[in-house]
Amino acid sequence: MLSSPLYSAAALACAAGVACAAPALPKLGADAHQTSVSGLSSGAFMAAQIQVAYSASIVGAGIVAGGPYYCAANSMMFTAVCMGQVPFVPPNPVLMANAAKRFASEQRIDPIAHLKDRRIYAFSGRKDTVVRPQAVEATVGFFREVGVKAENLAFVNDLHAGHALITASYGNECSANADPYISQCSAEGRGYDQAGAILGHIYGHLAPPAKQTKGAIIEFNQRDFADNISGLADTGYLYVPKACRQSTACRVHVAIHGCKQSAQSVGEKFYAQTGYNEWADSNRILVLYPQVNKSLVPFNPEGCWDWWGYTGPAYADKGSTQMKAIMRMVGRLAQRP
């Protein structure tokens, strides 16, 4: 972990070995109206859920190997279909769009009309054997059905990638479907920087990524936002660029890990090695890395985000304990110090 002036004396005591919770998530005066989200696998399903449920305030989403919104319909029996694992039976984007429209009419999610101006990046690797291409194709179909403008919808499906978040120079070989689900791939003769592709599609022109980051990765106490029955880990992570330490209205990007990819399983690899921080450093973006761990209560042995209902039937609307927690984290970051 990097040193940071954001740490309090209590946090330094924790670092010295005193048993205590991680420090509180700081108030940094962020611009909550410029919040975006992305994720891999279960994190991609969660990113889609947040984008749809909170479309009035989330400006864009990056969905890497994730199926369409509310695909599992509160039943684990549909998860294989939603992951594209059932041959010739892809998810039906029209059914999912109709569900979203119904939820909006019941005021369980934000009005669907907000989605037309949101910017969506979707990715499917040709060698992905976990969430297969037909599932991601249905995700793209869903966003078309709910009115996302064609020019706002990017679909990348021409890399021979496995099930992974893709970087230019770190991780497994491109076609791997293996821990830590971070792989390096090339496109057009150069490394494919997926974090940059996602952030660039959502926010438009960005300054080049920092060659060496100058910000800090800090731990924070997630129990301020949800109890352990939510499935959230005790500790989450935040990348704070140097330019964002003094309330400079930085944007917020929420990067959501996949199954078996929290810090409990892969250490710092997701929050330090996936490329988001380098782009954040030079573009005044706070990167929030919320965490879900493996657990027996709720039953979540692989540490997945809830996209089928293990936290309850409201998992995909504003009643979701996990989504409410993430949005409360964003709200905390937006508060003035």
pLDDT above 70 for 18: no
Confidence of residue 82 (pLDDT cuts 50, 70, 90): very high
Q: How big is the chain by its Cα radius of gyration, in Å? A: 18
Give the active site residue among 38, 41, 42, 262.
41
pLDDT value at residue 21: 83
128 is catalytic: yes
Q: In this structure, what are the phi and psi dihedrals at residue 134, rounded to the nearest 5 degrees?
A: -65, -25
pLDDT at 119 over 80: yes
Give the span between the Cα atoms of 29 and 336, in whole angstroms. 4
Does the pLDDT at position 57 exceed 50?
A: yes
Whether the link from the prior residue into 298 is cis, omega within 30° of 0, is yes
More confident residue, 335 or 9: 335
pTM: 0.94
Q: Which of 112, 91, 90 is nearest to 103 (CA)?
A: 112
Model confidence over 86-98: pLDDT tens digits? 999 999 999 999 9
Picking from 201, 199, 197, the residue whose alpha carbon sits closest to that of residue 151 is 201
In this prediction, residue 19 has a pLDDT band, given cuts at 50, 70 and 90, of: low
Tell me the pLDDT band of 177, cut-offs 50, 70 and 90.
Answer: very high
202-253 residue pLDDT tens: 999 999 999 999 999 999 999 999 998 999 999 999 999 999 997 779 999 9
**Predicted confidence (pLDDT) per residue in 248-285, tens digit:** 799 999 999 999 999 999 999 999 999 999 999 999 99
In the block, residue with structure tokens 């909550």: 32
Mean pLDDT for 280-308 is 97
Q: What is the DSSP letter of 235?
A: E
Tokens found for residue 179: 């821990």
Res. 5: pLDDT tops 80: no
Domain ranges in the chain are 25-334
10 dihedral zone (left: phi>0; alpha: psi -120 to 50; beta): alpha
d(CA 329, CA 132): 32
Look over the chain and give the mean of its residue pLDDT values, rounded to a whole number. Answer: 94
Q: 200 Cβ partners below 8 Å, 6+ apart?
A: 206
Helix axes 42-53, 321-334, angle to 10 degrees: 70
Pick the catalytic residue from 110, 128, 193, 317: 128
> By the 8 A CB rule, do 62 and 121 touch?
yes
- Cis amide prior to 301 (ω within 30 degrees): no
41 is catalytic: yes
Give mean pLDDT, residues 123-128: 98
In the DSSP assignment, the letter for residue 151 is G
132-146: per-residue pLDDT in tens? 999 999 999 999 999
The answer to whether residue 17 scores a pLDDT higher than 60 is no
pLDDT at residue 8, rounded to an integer: 43
Nearest to 195 by CA among 46, 66, 62: 62
Give yes or no for a contact between 112 and 55, defined as CB atoms under 8 angstroms apart.
yes
Name the phi and psi angles at 247, rounded to 5: 55, 65
Asked whether residue 1 carries a pLDDT value surpassing 50, the answer given is: no
Statement: residue 11 has pLDDT above 90: no
pLDDT at 79: 98
Q: What average pLDDT does range 306-321 have in this prediction?
A: 98
Residue 52 above 50 pLDDT? yes
CA–CA separation, 258 vs 183, rounded Å? 14
> Does 78 score more than 70 pLDDT?
yes
**Catalytic one of 163, 201, 253, 257:** 163
